[in-house]
Amino acid sequence: MRIGNSKSFEDQEKSKMNLEMRYKNISLTRFLELLDQDKLFWLVKRLSGNDTGITGGHQSGIYVPRQFMEAVVPAVVTTEQYNPTREISCYIPSQDCLKTGIQAKYYNNKYFPEMKLKKKYDEFRLTRWVGTPLQDVENTGSICILAGTCRSGETELLGWVSNTAEEEDLIEYWLGKEVEPGQMYLSSASAEKSDLPLLKQLPVSWLKTFPTGRDIFEFIETRFPQSSWAKSIDELLLKRRAMEFDIFSEVERHDVMPNIKDGFTSVDEFIKYANSVANRRKSRAGTSLELHLESIFRYEQLKFEAQVITEQNKKPDFIFPSGKDYHNPAFPSAKLHMLASKTCCKDRWRQVISEADRIEKKHLFTLQQGVSSNQLAEMYQHGIILVVPQPIMSSFPEDYRTKIMNLTNFVDFIKESQQAV
């Protein structure tokens, strides 16, 4: 399938055909292998509602960092002209789709004060994805890979949009970490340099013994206590999460890089070490969100219990007010509530349906930046009420925003319910 005008394709056909033919109709496993073999510059992210267009506007396109544009479309990385653009094509083997007429653009009015514009921009975007999997609203929350290079002045760009949970697992295994909403992961060529000032602020013991996820969270909790936080708890959670990610990455670099430089005596030794690093990342990601929510609930003096065992040995992340009350038939079901927490809820939200049979309306907290109207409708049909941080509310369809709760709303809802008990 080709999308776009034929003239654009003909102008770039020679440079695109090599990659298109090499990557055409291949499996995800082979796609990832070739990315490494061909030494393409890549980025990995989850598509947000703004990316796929469920918020109603596509004008801004997909944000990409400077390093990516320097490697793939260097012609637009200049302040010699205002908002330089370049038309490129992208082949997407996951859906066998060739999209022409994509616009690589550098919004650089920051360097043109004579324009006297109120908003100052210094960012790179890829726009005009209409008709592709990258702007299919049902792909909101899916993992997307963009990879490319520039040869003899011609850009070659590839894309992959995950179709299943199994594909997402494979990409995360290849990447060595979970792909979190709002984060962007770049190939090793673009690795950020170590932030030494941050490292100097951390406990010295962490440089000898790698801290647990709880150790890192408790360190952050003391630096950003809720008692002195003037903004909303929604913003507090996002601020703490961002700091946790930065600290973990910094400590990991300090711990791992010396071992990489020293080298390994065998392939088996290298694989064993790489797996241990990947498992440590998964362990942090698996408990992070629950720790942040638990801290806020305790400060707000909510009555709750984590990981209560319910029917069929299910374990909801949080039961309000307690597991004892949940298992007490005399306790009114209308006063029981639950909250599941999932960093990304695409396709995984269905796991929540059967987690607590006594609770008719189940709440689900997520950091995913957008869910399609179709999936939201299905969630509400099954009694799932979405809870998201207020700053990402704008990533959801406008006609559903009044039905979605932010974290502050949810805490107030639980307080009101428990006051009446």
Q: Which residue has the higher pLDDT, 16 or 221?
A: 221
- Is 104's pLDDT higher than 80? yes
Name the pLDDT band for 147 (thresholds 50, 70, 90). Answer: very high
Name the pLDDT band for 15 (thresholds 50, 70, 90). Answer: very low
Count of alpha carbons within 13 angstroms of residue 170, beta-carbon side: 17
Greatest C-alpha distance within the chain:
75
- Is 275's pLDDT higher than 90? no
Give the active site residue among 107, 185, 326, 400: 326
Distance CA 302, CA 323 (A): 14
DSSP code of residue 307: S
Cα pseudo-dihedral 22, 25, 30, 34, rounded to 10? 20
Residue 319: what pLDDT? 97
Name the pLDDT band for 191 (thresholds 50, 70, 90). Answer: very low
Name the pLDDT band for 286 (thresholds 50, 70, 90). Answer: confident
Quick check: bond before 321 cis, omega within 30?
yes
23 is an active site residue: no
Indicate the SS3 state at residue 352. Answer: helix
Q: How much is the average pLDDT of 301-330? A: 95
Residue 327: what pLDDT? 96
Q: How much is the average pLDDT of 334-348? A: 92
Residue 118: what pLDDT? 78
Distance CA 397, CA 56 (A): 8
Distance CA 403, CA 342 (A): 19
Q: How much is the average pLDDT of 96-103? A: 92
Output the DSSP codes for 207-253. GTSPPPHHHHHHHHHHHS-GGG--S-HHHHHHHHHHHHHHHHHHHHH
DSSP code of residue 187: -
- Is 9's pLDDT higher than 60? no
Residue 2: what pLDDT? 43
Name the pLDDT band for 169 (thresholds 50, 70, 90). Answer: very high
Indicate the SS3 state at residue 42. Answer: strand
Highest mean pLDDT among 50-54, 95-99, 343-347: 95-99
H-helix segments, 73-115:
none
Give the pTM.
0.84
User: CA distances (Å), 185 to each of 92, 232, 285, in order?
Assistant: 19, 28, 15
Average pLDDT, the chain: 88
How far is C-alpha 325 from the chain's CA centre?
35
Whether 69 and 76 have beta carbons less than 8 Å apart is answered as yes
Residue 421: what pLDDT? 57
- Domains annotated for the chain, with CATH where assigned, are 2-190 (2.40.330.10), 196-299 (3.40.91.80), 305-419 (3.40.91.80)
- Is 8's pLDDT higher than 50? no
Instruction: Give the H/E segment covering residue 10.
Output: helix 6-23
